[in-house]
Amino acid sequence: MIGLNREQKEAVGLLSIGTFLEYFDLMLYVHMAVLLNELFFPKYDPHTASILSAMAFCSTFIFRPVGALIFGWIGDNIGRKSTVIITTMLMAVSCIVMANLPTYAQAGIIASWAITICRIVQGMSSMGEIIGAEIYLTETIKRPMQFPAVASVAIFSAVGTTAALAVASLVTSHGFNWRIAFWIGGLIAIVGAVARRKLRETPDFVDMKVKMKKAIELESGSEGAKKFFKDPNNPMRKEKVKKMTSLSLFLIRCAWPVCFYIAYIHCSHILQKQFGYSAEQIIHQNFIVSVVELISFIILPYLSYYIYPLKILKAKTAIFVPFILICPYLLDHATSGFHILLIQSFIMFFVLENMPATPIFYIYFPVFKRFTYVTFIYALSRAVMYVITSFGLIYLTKYFGNYGLLVIMIPITLGFIFGLYYFEKLEKQNEALLETSKNAFLQTFGSTKQNLEEIH
């Protein structure tokens, strides 16, 4: 990337590749669920099967808030680097375990519980992974290069999803052993975890530690500094997070899981029930959708270097809102799987997502609380919305058909818009404060070249 030094480029590369591996491992089961659920769970009537399928899907996300608290504490107290290494290793181990698990036919209900536990571990570890990578780059790189650099993490998560679907399609199309895919994912993740040991801690985190130590050393010596630094009640660690900031980020985060579920899971059910698609055909079509999603994820970071990210998100929302209102009608009148493909592709191309404005949202959380808050909000939004969507749509679509989608999508879209305008207001306030500080500085010290560089 132009404008980055060697160390920053290396960080972007290591974190992006690690995120790719994590999401390959995480999404491999999600997109092979139509095949693997039959291997690891008992067979029931269609309604019960739908409930069990929703439970299997949600198991990956429902314990994420627990993982967020654990890895958030590690990230805010030990460091960002340690967190991404630990989570990558956990993902690798769980993936290798899954590659060796016996099926339901071989081990009965034990197989169902074992695969569910592995999915829970993967869901929890994925929390520290992608958020840790995004925070690391947010605290390491400055604007405007910060926006595409942080977005590269999302790009590689999309690449991981696409690769998982490609492998799933290959396995189902050519009859390869599905265990090979999990073995490959696990082994490569181990290599990624080892490679990440080369990362350095972020400047923001290190600088804050140094400031805290220096501040107390002036008062009570080095021993006092150690005691102060470890004390969770010291003034720097007690810096408050605004409730409205947390709520706004939560509302923005809630949109993605709903869009993802409708595009990939709900539409897959339509393909299976209305058009008689096999598991192989569904996986192949979802692979095409993931490629469309990836194209969108590549275009947006490029634009963010030239166009303010919040403007990009507002433009996407303006296109997405009218479409989602007519989406139930389009689904009801679709006459082929290709029509469903077009609907899926449109949803995922204009999906309501925080990227490429992610750094804008993160900087309004204090450094020593950033990892915990941002990770927990991300986890909570995924857990809540996947549970509401996966279980809710079973009954909403039963009684209202595809128009039941609007019961969830309308409030979620309104929340997303509210969140965008809240952070836009914070940005304007921040710009006004910086301008005031700049003018005051220049009036005091003059506008010499050195002073202008200090301001910059």
Kindly report, residue by residue over 368-406, the tens digit of the pLDDT.
888 889 988 988 898 899 889 988 998 899 899 999 999
Paired tokens of 237: 């660690």
What is the rounded average pLDDT of the residues 98-115? 85
What is the rounded average pLDDT of the residues 113-120? 83
In the chain, pLDDT over 70 holds for what percent of residues? 78
Confidence of residue 323 (pLDDT cuts 50, 70, 90): very high
pLDDT, tens only, 427-443 = 999 888 767 766 665 56
More confident residue, 248 or 432: 248
More confident residue, 35 or 281: 281
C-beta atoms surrounding 194 within 10 Å: 12
138 vs 370: CA distance, rounded Å: 11
pTM over 0.85: no
Mean pLDDT, the chain, rounded, equals 81
More confident residue, 9 or 310: 310
Q: What domains appear along the chain, each with residue ranges and CATH number? A: 6-201+239-455 (1.20.1250.20)
- Burial of 259-275, coded b for 16+ CB within 10 Å and e otherwise, reads bbbbbbbbbbbbbeeeb
376 vs 244: CA distance, rounded Å: 15
404 vs 444: CA distance, rounded Å: 62
391 vs 54: CA distance, rounded Å: 6
Q: What's phi and psi for 64, nearest 5 deg?
A: -60, -40
State yes or no: pLDDT of 268 exceeds 60. Answer: yes
Confidence of residue 119 (pLDDT cuts 50, 70, 90): confident
| Per-residue pLDDT, 170 | 77
More confident residue, 318 or 223: 318
Q: Burial level of 39, CB count in 10 A (0-12/13-18/19+)?
A: middle
What is the rounded average pLDDT of the residues 172-189? 74
What is the rounded average pLDDT of the residues 101-129? 81
Q: 3-class secondary structure for 237-286?
A: CCCCCCHHHHHHHHHHHHHHHHHHHHHHHHHHHHHHHHCCCCHHHHHHHH
What is the rounded average pLDDT of the residues 350-357? 93
Q: What's phi and psi for 60, nearest 5 deg?
A: -70, -30
